[in-house]
Structure 1
Amino acid sequence: MPLQALNTKAQQAFFGTVLFQAVVVIVMVAIVFGKVEDAVPLTDSRYKTIPCYLALFILAELFEIFMAYDALRLRNVIQLVGLLLFHAALIVMASLQVHETHTALVTHPGVNWTVDYANGDGAGTLWQRVLPFLIVSPVVIGISWLVLIWFVRQLYYEFGWAIFHIVGANPAAKTMYQFYQVMICLLKFDFFAFVGVTMQLLIVVLAKNTAEFGLTVAAIPIVLVLLIGCGLAVQREIKWLMTISLILMLAAESYFYKLVRFYDPNSEAQYETVRATLTTFTIIAFLLLFGTFGIGLRCFADFDKGLLRSKLHGKDYKQVNGGVKESLFGSKKEEGGYSSGSALGPRVSIE
């Protein structure tokens, strides 16, 4: 895939920041995983939060790299803002992992390595050896978040011409197109949230010989088909497919009954070391899906209002080099700019 999205310093700096923090965080998480794997059996249900921690952050960082490039390629300011919210959620997730790793590793507080290396939290214990690497992750993510906010501000002005170029000067069309962008962005984040919850359940909690394990695995392709189908429906304005997608989306909310199980006295023990992260993920996934349903209804109402061509061909927009002001008023005389004094060419109509 050509890196035509990274053709300005702001875009390169934004993507470089995402890439740098992703590498650092994955390395930190991998170090924690390696140290714990060498000391305790990860097959023990108590320690399964550690491989889950590794898998979750690899998924999150790869997803963020993809979303960052995708947002820059599409000149999508809304997706960039969504990335800032996602990045903030990563800070919370990394902080929760410090607590959950402590819960998994420390069963004898105050005991040092001379008594119990794996289960104490005193000097020289396993917990004290992995703690610095656990702390680095939220710190690096937090600092990179502040840097990203700065560059999103620059990219906001850089990409401001994109929607006008795609839908023209009609305020109603601009609003409809922005709701469409929000819908597509939400569908992408729905995918991550659902995969994140499912992956944690499969790694940490569920036994392979249970019906719940089979149902959880079966839900994966169903939800993926739902999200892809909804994306196609809203882009191509396919009413029957959009109707089915919205109905299934509302029905999928029932999947989050699992939230009750995290605190049910009969099942809470198996969720002890991952309860905080699972609860956070499940609530966020529930709210994202509910928000997607609401925005989906709004997009459905905008079908057949003249936006279809912009949805299908908006991705072909190419940025005007030098920005809006420069392209309109700063052209050289030989290029026929407004300041050149040359005769105006034929007027271009804007749909």
Structure 2
Amino acid sequence: MGTALTRTPEAIVVIVMVGIVFGKVSDHVDLNLSRYKTIPCYLALFILAELFELFMAYDALRLRNIIQLVGMLLFHAALLVMAALQIHETHSALVHDPSANWTTDYVNGGGPGTLWQGVLPFLVVSPVVIGVSWLVMVFFVRILYGEFGWAIFHVVGANPAAKTMYQFYQVMICLLKFDFFAFVGVTMQLLIVVLSKNTAEFGLTIAAIPIVMVLLIGAGLAVQREVKWLMSICLVLMLAAESYFYKLVRFYEPASREQYQTVRATLTTFTIIAFLLLFATFAIGLRCFADFDKGLLKSKMHGQSYRPVGQPYKYSSSAPGSAGAKKEGGAYGSGAPLGPRVSIE
């Protein structure tokens, strides 16, 4: 539980810091102006990110999923980068006269006593707190690695091939969850900061939301239930969705670069990460597709019902030679029978 307990106070501190920045800025500027929209976007993104990471932490502990915990460490590192980038983007939005102080231009100045100097300490606190909590999370994940490593054994038994296939399945499900956050993050920034409601691009972005949600949910169901036709459709759609990468061109081409000025760094980072995540999901999806009909369906359907952290595993003495425990009092029940001389890798 140490990982979840670390995440909860860190999430509260970061959201409070972001909220203070939002409040201070909104008291002095019109956030409806395009140059200042990075501030409400910053608030929305961090609330989404912190809530998403809290969910992922408790979900990983509930499932005893070490792969998801490692994914959270990578996500947390990306959150640290995003917090650092926000300092630069807030500076770009607020400071238009670096030499001015509070007596000459409080709102647009960058000198002592200005609005920028007032929010800078709160902007700096966020990446510092995120960085410290990341180190604490690494410590707890290392402790949990050994314990959670047994979870797959209790689901699929000691068969190395089954273990590898199940690990790829876990990676696929984990990637789909992170795909959801990356897509929502990019879409939220485009809708809040950049796109006008009367443009075709705004309508296309809105229309893409349910399509992508159906794609992610469909891919999760297909890989869990081994539905080949649905998995084939999802893989094709993932490949087609990579064309969304063209947005990077719009961030920097002369005709449109001005409207992305205050959020270009964050949008570029999010778009590249989303592209790489989707490509990784497609590649792992192909591997999972190749593992269909190889005896893993039962483990996928029932193997996630792990005991809560802190409760011991129960073994059945009525089935000698069984790698996993029988369904006794809620214990694991999908282990494969073993011979007397099988070793555990």
| TM-score for the superposition, normalised by structure 2 | 0.91
Equivalent residue number for residue 53 of structure 1: 42
**What SS does the corresponding residue of 1:316 show, helix, strand or coil?**
coil
1:279-290 → structure 2 map (5 Å cutoff): 279-290=268-279
Distance in structure 1 (CA, Å) of the matches to 2:48 and 2:123: 17
Q: Any conservation in 2 of the 1:186–1:292 contact (CA below 8 Å)?
A: yes
**CA distance in 2: counterparts of 1:63 and 1:199, whole angstroms:** 14
Unaligned runs of 5+ in 1: 1-10, 329-335, 337-343
CA contact (8 A) 1:158 1:323 kept: no
TM alignment of 1:112-151, pairs within 5 A: 112-151=101-140
Partner AA of 2:218 in structure 1 = G
| Cα deviation digits, residues 262-312 of structure 1 (max 9, x gap) | 000010000000000000000000000000000000000000000000000
Could you tell me how far apart the structure 2 residues matched to 1:80 and 1:277 are?
24
Q: Displacement of 1:318 after TM fit? A: 2.3
Counterpart-to-counterpart distance in 1, 2:308 and 2:217:
28
Is residue 160 of structure 1 aligned with residue 133 of structure 2? no
| Cα-to-partner distance string for 1:29-86 (whole Å, 9 max, x where unaligned) | 0000000000111011000000000000000000000000110000000000000000
- Is this contact kept in 1: 2:195–2:201, CA < 8 A? yes
CA deviation digits over 1:209-238, x for unaligned, max 9?
000000000000000000000000000000
Pair 1:15–1:182, CA change in 2 (3 A): same
3-state DSSP of counterpart to 1:22: helix
Kept after mapping to 1: 8 A contact 2:98/2:111: yes
Deviation at residue 159 of structure 1 after TM alignment:
1.1
- Secondary structure of the equivalent of 2:198? coil
Q: Residue 207 of structure 2 corresponds to which residue in structure 1?
A: 218
Q: Which amino acid aligns with 1:98?
A: I
Q: CA separation of 1:41/1:233 partners in 2, compared to 1, >3 Å: closer, same or farther?
A: same
What is the number of residues matched between the two proteins? 324
Structure 2 gap ranges (5+): 324-335, 337-345
Q: Hey, what's the Cα distance between the residues in 1 that align with 2:81 and 2:184?
A: 18
Query: Which residue matches 1:244?
Result: 233
Distance 1:319 1:165 in 2: 14
The correspondence for 1:189, drawn from 178, 193, 213, is 178
Higher relative contact order (CA 8 A, sep 6+): 2
**What's the counterpart of residue 247 of structure 2?**
258
Per the alignment, residue 328 of structure 2 pairs with none
- RMSD (CA atoms): 1.6
Contact kept? 2:6, 2:133, Cα under 8 Å: yes
Letter of the aligned partner of 1:145 in structure 2?
Answer: W
How much has 1:157 moved relative to structure 2? 1.3
Compute the displacement of 1:158 (Å): 1.8
Alignment of 1:1-351 (within 5 A): 11=1, 13-318=2-307, 347-350=320-323, 351=336
Check the 8 A contact 2:238/2:278 in 1, yes or no: yes
TM-superposed CA distance for 1:346, in Å, is 5.3
Tell me how far 1:317 sits from its aligned partner: 2.7
Aligned residue identity for 2:151:
A
